[in-house]
Structure 1
Amino acid sequence: MHHDDDEHSHHDGGLQQDLMVDALRDPRRRLLLGSLLASGTFALIGGCGGGGDSSTSSTDSSGSTSTGSTTTGTTTGSTTATTDTSTSTTTNTNTNTNTTTSSCIADPQETEGPYPGDGSNSANGTVANVLSSTGVVRSDIRSSFGSATGTAQGVPLTLTIKVVNSNANCAALEGYAVYIWHCTRDGEYTLYASDLLKENYLRGVQVTDSAGQLTFETIVPGCYSGRWPHIHFEVYPSLAKATSYKNKILTSQMALPKDICTTVYNNATGYTASVRNLSQISIASDNVFGDNTTAQITQQTPVLDGSVAKGYTGTIVIGVPV
């Protein structure tokens, strides 16, 4: 699993520059870059419009639609070990990967990108930390809270998350806090995009119940340049700890199912740019999900059901090695 998100297509350098920089830093990525150059694939990786994620934790994000600065998070590790194979299986509905079953595994560590709003970087000259704001603990994240009044437009998505201990046969983890955030249907991030600096919707925190579960009401995110449609999340050991990125125990991302995204983008208002953007990216070419195993992608992909007219509901399990 890679640990660097792409820039927007309008950021300096673009995805190809990010891959070249990553390749020089990481022997595994040098091998990957070599194979891409040899096959001619490198020149094909690119562009989805909208707001995006950055590459390394020290790269400046200064695109015209976003004023976010560098990411300083510490999610550089990866977790691939399986711990138990006797648990119930989950079927992956992402048509971009092979359908398979998943044992109890830990979600891989992924980058938080340049727009986490967790206190690890700045936006518009000030530290962006929505976690310290009163009102961030909520299930419905479609509207801003506090003094902000905006509401995200898009196809409704109700997502139930179950957090489990991947080191203990997927036992439910009660009292753990999960912070999620993702882009708008236009591919922008609140707190960072130039037109959304005062908004904080599509960000929120919930705490797991005795079954390890929590639910968010949100929208289906759009697809932007160089990235597979995704939802960011961080896991904290308690709500009291969920006030700063320094206390997180897992940072990762969810990969949205291709069939659902295709249906939404082609039939819902406001997702026009995502149609083109999705056609130019795949799980395999995505620089976050691209080197994950099939089992990891299955773990990271929520199972969704519904329609554009009625909205979607879905579930996903997050495995944390505690």
Structure 2
Amino acid sequence: MRNLLDDDKDHDHAHPEGLRADLPRLLLGRRAVLAGVVGSGAALALIGPRVLAQGVVTGAAADGAVCVAQPAEMAGPFPADGTNVRAGQVVNILTERGVIREDIRSSIGGLRPVAAGVPMRLDLRLVDVRRGCAPLEGHAVYLWQCDAAGVYSIYGAADRTYLRGVAISDSGGRVRMLTVVPGTYPGRWPHLHFEVFASAAAAVDGAAALLTGQFAMPEEACRVAYRADPAYAASRAALDGVRLDRDGIFRNGTAAERAAQMLRLTGDASGFVATGEVGLVV
């Protein structure tokens, strides 16, 4: 399999200055792209959204492709986005230097631990359901997940801040991160948490999120990863005791929503590529 790290050689986006210091660079890049679109006379064919019987909002692009509005889900107890506290103090990693980065396996904020586990390249696409599934550029996505042992950094392990990071969507609406296949814990199906913000400027507190959601992991890929690396021992046992249709989050969605929330994985025990789409009603 192609080394998942190869694509990082020209995309080292670990910015030690933090979100606010990155704004001038991000905005300049966005203006340049927009100027190119206007100058070329490019146009998007827009088709209005529709609401299915179950209340699910969908959109359709000019080529017939359909996008589904991602359902909002709870952030859970471990977001570290300024909306909750740990040991009596507000926790907000979004204000830390280096939080904008593609490789989220390492810790930031002066901490050293690196997440163990099977590598996973995450490739998400943000689209506007109301505007014919048009890509959403310049949006910030904050991703967090538990590690191979099913533990969340900061909360379950105060000496580490790994598996948390922010990425900014490009002109195609895409964000990319390098992480590990998430572990799990009793009662929950393997999953990732995410929040979407209108801009990097807005991504300094979870209260400003346009959408808080969760992605589910395919069972077979998880089992392959969990068998391959001993760091997943606790997660392997936890997975045996849970079912997707009984998960407290994913069981409540419609079939269309559950399909939109399920990441698609390719690869093997040496590494996976995960793809997904985040449909927003903006």
**What's the TM-score, normalizing by structure 1?**
0.68
Q: Which of residues 39, 49, 58 in structure 2 aligns to 1:83?
A: 58
Residue identity matched to 1:312:
F
Q: Does 1:143 align with 2:106?
A: yes
Distance 1:288 1:142 in 2: 25
Residue of structure 1 in register with 2:225 after alignment:
264
Taking a change above 3 Å as real, the CA distance of residues 312 and 172 of structure 1, as seen in their structure-2 partners, is same
Distance 2:203 2:153 in 1: 19
Residue of structure 1 in register with 2:45 after alignment:
none
Structure 2: state its 5+ residue gaps. Answer: 1-53
Taking a change above 3 Å as real, the CA distance of residues 87 and 266 of structure 1, as seen in their structure-2 partners, is farther
Distance 1:145 1:238 in 2: 22
- Contact 1:227 1:287 survives alignment (8 Å): yes
The Cα shift of 1:125 comes to 2.3
Aligned residues between the structures? 229
The Cα shift of 1:202 comes to 0.2
The Cα shift of 1:270 comes to 1.2
Residue of structure 1 in register with 2:245 after alignment:
284
Residue of structure 1 in register with 2:212 after alignment:
251
Identity %: 39
SS of residue paired to 2:259: helix
The Cα shift of 1:197 comes to 0.9
Taking a change above 3 Å as real, the CA distance of residues 307 and 164 of structure 1, as seen in their structure-2 partners, is same
Residue of structure 2 in register with 1:183 after alignment:
146
Residue identity matched to 1:146:
G
Q: Which of residues 127, 134, 159 in structure 2 aligns to 1:198?
A: 159
1:60-110, CA deviations, whole angstroms, 9 ceiling, x for partnerless residues? xxxxxxxxxxxxxxxxxxx94223356778xxxxxxxxxxxx931110000
Q: Which of residues 269, 273, 279 in structure 2 aligns to 1:313?
A: 273
The Cα shift of 1:267 comes to 2.5
The Cα shift of 1:250 comes to 0.1
Distance 2:96 2:61 in 1: 41
SS of residue paired to 2:126: strand
The Cα shift of 1:165 comes to 0.5
Residue of structure 2 in register with 1:170 after alignment:
133
The Cα shift of 1:301 comes to 1.1
CA RMSD between the two structures? 1.7
Distance 1:200 1:208 in 2: 23
Higher percent of residues as strand: 2
Residue of structure 2 in register with 1:153 after alignment:
116
**What's the TM-score, normalizing by structure 2?**
0.78
Taking a change above 3 Å as real, the CA distance of residues 154 and 178 of structure 1, as seen in their structure-2 partners, is same
Higher percent of residues as helix: 2
Taking a change above 3 Å as real, the CA distance of residues 302 and 316 of structure 1, as seen in their structure-2 partners, is same
- The within-5 A match list for 1:1-322 is 80-85=55-60, 103-193=66-156, 196-308=157-269, 310-322=270-282
Residue identity matched to 1:109:
A
SS of residue paired to 1:131: helix
Residue identity matched to 1:311:
G
The Cα shift of 1:269 comes to 2.0
Distance 1:80 1:263 in 2: 36
